[in-house]
Amino acid sequence: MKVCVFGAGAVGGNIATRLLAAQADDVSVVARGAQLKAMRERGLTLRSGGTEITARAEVATDDPSTLPPQDVVLVTLKAHAAPGAAAAIARLLAPQGCAVFLLNGIPWWWRHGLAGAGGPLPLLDPDAALWTRVKPERTLGCVVHSPNDLIAPGVIVHAGPDHFILGEPDGSASARLEAALAMFGRGGIEARTAGDLRRDIWQKLVNNASGNTLCALSRVDLGGLGADPELCALSIRVMRETLAVAAALGWDLRAEVDVESTARRGKPGQRPSMLQDVLRGRPIEVEALLGQLHAFAREKSVAVPNIDVVLPLLRGLDRALRAA
């Protein structure tokens, strides 16, 4: 299969390294800046579980229009960057190709296939570019359980779980879903299908809506967040509000998520992606992790007093990062 990793940062770099090292598919990479320069000069290096994997991409570019049509485009951009790449992603897809979006938080395709719902989410796809150009019908969703950190151009460090959950936005089974799973398998990457992908999204979002956001605002890592009594208590309240919104939308996880232990299980030095972005002066995934959640709360009249406070702070931080 022709496979393009579109955005080879931390998560994308992990996947690209494994796929390239396996040499089982025709893999190209879209990257930019120092990361692209490093890939061209030295290749990619992934450090994980005491092992080191190094691989070189024969085709690495910052101009996706130079690539041939692809069977699979693995979109590993940040959620706020994906709409701007919609046209390039759409052009890359072969007639029967699909785009797999490996996104944090609520994805842009959320309403596709839901009974009584349809259409784009303006907070996540402001001009409906993803909805109209890439199209949810040509998309697979993916929940990422793989903490990675880009410690230097071309060098990724992975620690913790490393598995991916894939599914069709409408919940159906499909040949392209099976093909994507097989492609991950050929790269030695653990992946499975979802019984209900949106449920898996909520399960991860409970952690991200609290841990990612509060680490970004406080600039402490997950270990520090859990060890600080006041921050930990706030994290628990945000998790409970997230669970209440999920339940109002039809995914009640309150009986299966232990928010007390979840809030305290972070390890010292464990930096979630939003904290990594803040420390590097980059824009953050505010709307996917918290903004759309807040909008859902308003739609369902769910009180979220803690998120009411955290969200404007995050939006203010994001504006400052963009201005800088």
CATH of the domain at 297: 1.10.1040.10
60-98 per-position pLDDT tens digit: 999 999 999 999 999 999 999 999 999 999 999 999 999
Q: Does 79 lie in the same domain as 99? A: yes
Token pair in block for residue 50: 């005491």
Q: Residue 204 catalytic?
A: yes
CA distance 288 to 274: 11
Res 116 pLDDT > 80:
no
CA distance 157 to 48: 6
Q: Does 208 lie in the same domain as 172? A: no
Which helix (H) or strand (E) covers residue 75, if one does? strand 70-75
Q: ∠ CA 245-274-141 to the nearest 5 degrees?
A: 60
Q: For residue 44, what pLDDT band results from cuts at 50, 70 and 90?
A: very high
CB 72 within 8 A of CB 183: yes
Res 117 pLDDT > 80:
no
**pTM for this predicted structure:** 0.95
Q: ∠ CA 253-219-280 to the nearest 5 degrees?
A: 110
Q: Does 99 lie in the same domain as 69? A: yes
Could you tell me which residue, 61 or 115, shows the higher pLDDT?
A: 61
Which helix (H) or strand (E) covers residue 52, if one does? strand 51-55
Q: Does 213 lie in the same domain as 92? A: no
Token pair in block for residue 311: 């969200």
Q: Does 144 lie in the same domain as 30? A: yes
Look at residue 250 in the predicted model and tell me its pLDDT: 96
Look at residue 265 in the predicted model and tell me its pLDDT: 83
- SS3 state of residue 306: helix
Q: For residue 28, what pLDDT band results from cuts at 50, 70 and 90?
A: very high
Res 305 pLDDT > 90:
yes
CA distance 295 to 306: 14
User: Which is the catalytic residue, given 2, 37, 204, 300?
Assistant: 204
246-294 per-position pLDDT tens digit: 999 999 999 999 999 888 888 888 899 999 999 999 999 999 999 999 9
Q: Does 149 lie in the same domain as 114? A: yes
Q: Can you give the CATH number for the domain in which 66 is found?
A: 3.40.50.720
- With a pLDDT cut of 70, the percent of the chain lying above it is 100
- With a pLDDT cut of 90, the percent of the chain lying above it is 93
> Which parts of 76-154 are beta strand (E)?
93-102, 139-145, 148-152
* Residue 238: alpha-carbon gap to chain centroid: 20
Res 45 pLDDT > 90:
yes
Look at residue 160 in the predicted model and tell me its pLDDT: 86
CA distance 266 to 184: 28
Among 195, 219, 252, the domain-final residue is 195
Question: Under 8 Å CB-to-CB from 260, ≥6 apart: which residues?
Answer: 236
Computed over every residue of the chain, the mean pLDDT equals 96
Query: Minimal CA–CA distance to 197: which of 125, 140, 243, 246?
Result: 140
Q: Does 173 lie in the same domain as 240? A: no
Give the structural domain span for 266: 198-323
Among 177, 195, 213, the domain-final residue is 195
Query: Minimal CA–CA distance to 142: which of 96, 193, 178, 186?
Result: 193
Among 131, 165, 195, the domain-final residue is 195
CA distance 245 to 119: 20
Look at residue 195 in the predicted model and tell me its pLDDT: 86
Which helix (H) or strand (E) covers residue 26, if one does? strand 26-30
153-175 per-position pLDDT tens digit: 999 999 989 999 999 998 899 99
210-234 per-position pLDDT tens digit: 999 999 999 999 999 999 999 999 9
